[in-house]
């Protein structure tokens, strides 16, 4: 008996709606199994995971806020990926965004909020965008592979942040600990009264809609997609490929930079090296999971944030190791990818032994 | 292909199993509100003190968080104390969320065990005035936020006495975490100990800028070994440097907890934490209502810091020397940072007989003579 995987001529219709829930269900079943192995009650565990992520208005707020940096970075990365520009540099752009905003906050401590916050957004976004332009220009002018250059610039960006925080910007009152002085209260994002939700969430909505409109409703957005599927054809069609590369990179830089500045002012209100939590890399996973679609990215970022927040609750109630969250995350990713394989291929079982020539044997 | 079909079959089986699990889920769900109802019911029963811990690294790290978790387990064993924890919480906005969650779920005392939790702890404390917070290693307090730490430099000094006696090359390596006062203080205390028994020895410092990164820390130790060091000390939470020392057949000094199981042939001793002393005290204070925001900085006399058992290679005379110094420290004699102390440039920082003050120690930004490296 042999099993063949054959590429589907027509994509699955109703079936594709089932794939994601099925993958999720499989992962959660696996999660239950892991809990049972550790001797923890699996269903209580799942309940606590969900309660922690979505079970109350507090939990929902936590999840929404956690999703903010993931969404912004993933949106940026997706824009670049749409054009098949493999920007791994969101992490560094995030760092530079935080640095840019911190500069504004430290340079103009007395500015009123309506001036200071736009200024921080501008300087943070600009810093992130400029940082992303470096690999873009290197690619366009010198044909430097952007995967390498963006990755390397991450380390430089993070070390630049460290250098500032350990050096020039170190708070003299911090006993030598690596942190800048606290920003003035007017630098902190305003919060929705009675909740912890802050301006970052509004920025997400704005950015998401803007990117969606740009990519789906404008000529420039069309050019980005066209240049992605065929760089040479796009040049032939008199599109400015170099300009487009710089554009998508800069947009990604601005978005990742905004994520960085959001994390800086959202909680601590000062720059600390600990804001680097790997969102720039998480973003790549989220962007792919969501197949680069802005709305799906929002959903994926929200779900991933919910998972991460929920696992904390699971830790609190059942004292499972933190690594459990990582395992669950990996399992979901793998099963979703496997599910996408199922939507793209169909399977055929052949009893006949002698048919090695059938295409696409898995 | 056979493999594939078997795998597919297994996957289907798993899905089927999940289907069964799903069926069971329904009745369970109805039982779900029960734990919620339990919470108010538990409140009138006389005060089970709820204590929450937040850790920066996994408790399996054998280091910092592991040591704190040993303290947690000690108080969890006390009657009427419930503990809970969340591990591996990054020090940014995530920590604020986790601390908030603990406070919301009825913790009476919350211990935030890493420096970077300072501002988040204070932010949350403002919202929950009835909850007591204790932040480890910070310097900011509020009405319901106290701070605590231990005088680890005393144990570091003793470990320096051991290391200084065991080196043959007179070059010791110190794999250091971040250039902050706590770490600098530890390096200085270690070096003063080393030089006490071996004035010619020098201590070379490499910064890893990590707290827990076994690979990086091991590499840093190897670099020091390549430079000719024959005893390795460390300030991180991973046993990486210990392993590096054992592989090269030289000695090492651990940190946080007894790391001898990772490098039995190399591990001379380790300055270790015993947080249960402070945690037991805090539980008593909160329970009796006597708790107030304070700054606890206890030392060897209270047993918060100590030395791990010596390895078999440490000679009796060294053990005796260390025991004598330890007895002096416990008796309250200021051994470690008492002059004459010079900095790297040879400038006198403390005259003979003069002791550095606590604020001097807490803000320490310079290395003593004998340290090779920079505080940048």
**Which pLDDT score is estimated for B210?**
86
The answer to whether position A49 is within a domain reads no
Same-domain pairing of A216 and A131: yes
Q: What pLDDT, on the 0 to 100 scale, is given for residue B192?
A: 96
Q: Can you list the residues of chain B whose pLDDT is less than 70? A: 1-47
For A326-352, how does the pLDDT look when each residue is reduced to its tens digit (9 = 90+)? 999 899 888 888 887 877 787 788 776
Residue A81 belongs to a domain: yes
- pLDDT value, residue A16: 67
Percent of chain A with pLDDT over 70: 95
Asked if A270's CB is within 8 angstroms of B123's CB, the reply is no
* Shared domain check, B213 and B352: yes
Measured between beta carbons, the chain B residues lying within 8 angstroms of A315 are 85-87
3-state secondary structure of B374: coil
Task: Give Rg (Cα) of chain A.
Answer: 23
Residues of B (268-307) whose Cβ lies below 8 Å from A: none
Any long-range contacts for B98-104 (C-beta under 8 Å, 24+ apart)?
A: B98/A312, B98/B54, B99/B52, B99/B54, B99/B124, B99/B133, B100/A58, B100/B124, B100/B127, B101/A52, B101/A58, B101/A62, B101/A312, B101/A313, B101/A316, B102/A316, B102/B52, B102/B54, B103/B52, B103/B127, B103/B128, B103/B131, B104/A58, B104/B128
Helix pair angle (B93-104, B118-127), 10° resolution: 40
For residue B328, what is the domain's CATH number? 3.40.50.2300
Query: Do A261 and A308 have their domain in common?
Result: yes
Cis peptide before B80 (omega within 30 of 0): no
Searching chain A, which residue's CA lies closest to the CA of residue B60? A321
B101 near A CB under 8 A: yes
Do the Cβ atoms of B144 and B121 come closer than 8 Å?
no
A265 in a structural domain: yes
Residue B309 per-residue DSSP state: P
pLDDT score for B289: 92
Pairing of strands B348-350, B341-342: antiparallel
Banded pLDDT at A355 (limits 50, 70, 90)? low
pLDDT at B36: 41
Q: Kindly report, residue by residue over A167-183, the tens digit of the pLDDT.
A: 889 888 777 778 899 89
Contact A321 B119 (CB under 8 A): no
Nearest CB to A178: which of B101, B120, B178? Answer: B178
For residue A221, the distance in angstroms to the closest alpha carbon of chain B comes to: 34
pLDDT digits (tens, 9 = 90+) for A58-70: 999 999 999 999 9
Average pLDDT over residues A27-35: 91
Which chain B residue has its CA at the smallest distance from A168's CA? B376
**CB-based contact, A337 to chain B, within 8 Å:** no
Q: Which residues of B238-248 are buried (b: 16+ CB within 10 A; e: fewer)?
A: bbbbbbbbbeb
**Does one domain contain both A108 and A253?**
yes
User: Are A300 and A330 found together in one domain?
Assistant: no
Domain tally, chain B? 2
Does A205 lie in the same domain as A291? yes
Contact present, B223 and B180 (Cβ < 8 Å): no
A269 belongs to a structural domain? yes
Q: Which residues does chain A have within 8 Å of residue B32's beta carbon, measured at their own beta carbons?
A: 47
CA torsion sign, A360 to B4 to B9 to B15? negative
Residue A46 lies inside a defined structural domain of this protein? no
Model pTM above 0.95: no
pLDDT score recorded for residue B46: 57
Instruction: Judge: B180–A176 Cβ closer than 8 Å, yes or no.
Output: yes
In terms of domains, do B285 and B314 share one? no
Structural domain of residue B175, as residue ranges? 152-270+308-372
CATH number for the domain including A212? Answer: 1.10.3470
Same structural domain, A212 and A328: no
Q: Using CA atoms, how far apart are residues B6 and B12, in angstroms rounded to an integer?
A: 10
pLDDT tens-place string over residues A183-217: 998 999 998 888 889 999 999 999 999 999 999 99
User: Residue A45 falls within a domain, yes or no?
Assistant: no
Q: How many domains does chain A have?
A: 2
Which of helix, strand or coil describes residue B311? coil
For chain A, the distance separating the N- and C-terminal CA atoms, rounded to the nearest angstrom, is 14
3-state secondary structure of A267: coil
Q: Which residues pair with B50 in a beta bridge?
A: B82
Query: Dihedral, CA atoms, B219, B222, B224, B226, nearest 10 degrees?
Result: -140
What is the pLDDT at residue A18? 80
Range of the domain at A347: 1-40+320-362
Which tens digit of pLDDT belongs to each residue from A52-108? 999 999 999 999 999 999 999 999 999 999 999 999 999 999 999 999 999 999 999
SS3 of chain B: helix, strand, coil, percent, to 5: 45, 20, 35
CA distance B113 to B116: 9
Contact: B180, A322; criterion CB under 8 Å: no
């Amino acid at each position: 008996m042999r099993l063949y995987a054959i590429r589907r001529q027509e994509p699955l219709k109703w079936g594709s709606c089932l794939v994601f829930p099925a993958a999720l269900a499989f992962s959660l079943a696996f999660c239950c199994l892991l809990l049972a192995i550790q001797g923890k009650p699996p269903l209580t565990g799942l309940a606590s995971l969900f309660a922690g992520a979505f079970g109350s208005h507090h939990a929902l707020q936590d999840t929404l806020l956690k999703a903010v940096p993931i969404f912004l970075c993933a949106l940026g990365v997706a824009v670049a990926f749409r054009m098949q520009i493999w920007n791994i540099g969101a992490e560094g752009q995030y760092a530079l965004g935080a640095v840019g905003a911190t500069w504004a906050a430290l340079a103009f401590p007395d500015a009123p909020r309506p001036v200071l916050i736009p200024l921080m957004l501008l300087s943070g976004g600009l810093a992130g965008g400029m940082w992303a332009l470096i690999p873009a220009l290197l690619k366009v002018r010198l044909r430097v592979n952007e995967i390498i250059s963006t990755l390397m610039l991450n380390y430089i960006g993070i070390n630049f942040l460290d250098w500032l925080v350990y050096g020039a910007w170190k708070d003299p009152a911090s006993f030598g600990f690596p942190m800048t002085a606290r920003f003035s209260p007017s630098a902190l994002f305003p919060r929705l009264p009675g909740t912890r939700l802050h301006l970052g969430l509004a920025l997400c909505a704005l950015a998401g809609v803007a990117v969606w409109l740009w990519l789906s409703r404008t000529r420039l957005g069309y050019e980005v997609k066209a240049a992605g599927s065929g760089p040479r054809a796009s040049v032939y069609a008199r599109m400015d490929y170099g300009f487009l590369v710089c554009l998508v990179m800069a947009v990604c830089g601005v978005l990742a930079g905004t994520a960085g500045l959001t994390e800086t002012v959202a909680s601590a209100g000062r720059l600390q090296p600990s804001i680097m939590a790997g969102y720039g890399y998480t973003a790549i996973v989220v962007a792919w999971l969501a197949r680069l679609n802005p709305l799906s990215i929002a959903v994926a970022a929200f779900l991933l944030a919910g998972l991460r927040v929920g696992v904390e609750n699971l830790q609190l109630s059942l004292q499972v190791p933190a690594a459990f969250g990582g395992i669950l995350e990996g399992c979901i990713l793998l099963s979703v990818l496997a599910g996408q394989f199922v939507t793209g291929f169909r399977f055929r079982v052949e009893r006949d032994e002698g048919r090695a020539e059938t295409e696409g044997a898995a | 292909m056979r493999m594939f079909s078997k795998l597919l079959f297994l996957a289907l089986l798993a899905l089927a199993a999940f289907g069964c699990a799903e069926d069971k889920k329904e009745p369970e769900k109805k039982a779900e509100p029960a734990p919620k109802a339990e919470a108010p019911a538990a409140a009138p029963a006389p005060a089970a003190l709820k204590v929450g811990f937040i850790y920066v690294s996994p408790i399996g790290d054998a280091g910092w968080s592991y040591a704190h978790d040993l303290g947690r387990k000690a108080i969890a064993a006390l009657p009427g104390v419930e503990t809970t924890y969340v591990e591996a919480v990054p020090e940014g906005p995530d920590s604020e969320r986790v601390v908030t969650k603990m406070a919301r779920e009825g913790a009476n005392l919350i211990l935030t065990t890493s420096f970077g939790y300072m501002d988040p702890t204070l932010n949350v404390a403002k919202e929950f005035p009835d909850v007591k917070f204790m932040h480890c290693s910070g310097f900011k307090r509020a009405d319901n936020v106290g701070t605590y730490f231990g005088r680890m430099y005393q144990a570091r000094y003793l470990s320096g006495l051991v290391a200084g006696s065991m080196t043959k090359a007179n070059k010791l390596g110190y794999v250091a975490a971040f250039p902050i006062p706590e770490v600098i203080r530890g390096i200085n205390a270690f070096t003063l100990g080393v030089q006490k028994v071996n004035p010619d020895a020098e201590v070379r410092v490499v910064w890893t800028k990590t707290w827990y990164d076994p690979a990086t820390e091991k590499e840093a130790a190897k670099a020091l070994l390549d430079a000719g060091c024959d005893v390795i000390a460390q300030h991180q939470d991973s046993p990486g440097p210990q392993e590096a020392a054992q592989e090269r057949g030289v000695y090492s000094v651990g940190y946080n907890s007894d790391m001898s199981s990772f490098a039995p042939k190399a591990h001379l001793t380790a300055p270790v934490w015993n947080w249960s002393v402070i945690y037991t005290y805090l539980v008593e204070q909160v329970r009796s209502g006597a708790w107030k925001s304070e700054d606890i900085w206890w030392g060897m006399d209270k047993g918060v810091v100590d030395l791990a058992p010596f390895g078999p290679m440490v000679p009796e005379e060294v053990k005796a020397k260390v025991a004598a110094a330890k007895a002096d420290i416990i008796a309250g004699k200021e051994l470690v940072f008492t002059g004459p102390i010079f900095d790297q440039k040879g400038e006198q920082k403390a005259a003979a007989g003069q002791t550095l003050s606590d604020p001097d120690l807490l803000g320490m930004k310079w290395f003593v003579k004998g340290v090779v490296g920079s505080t940048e």
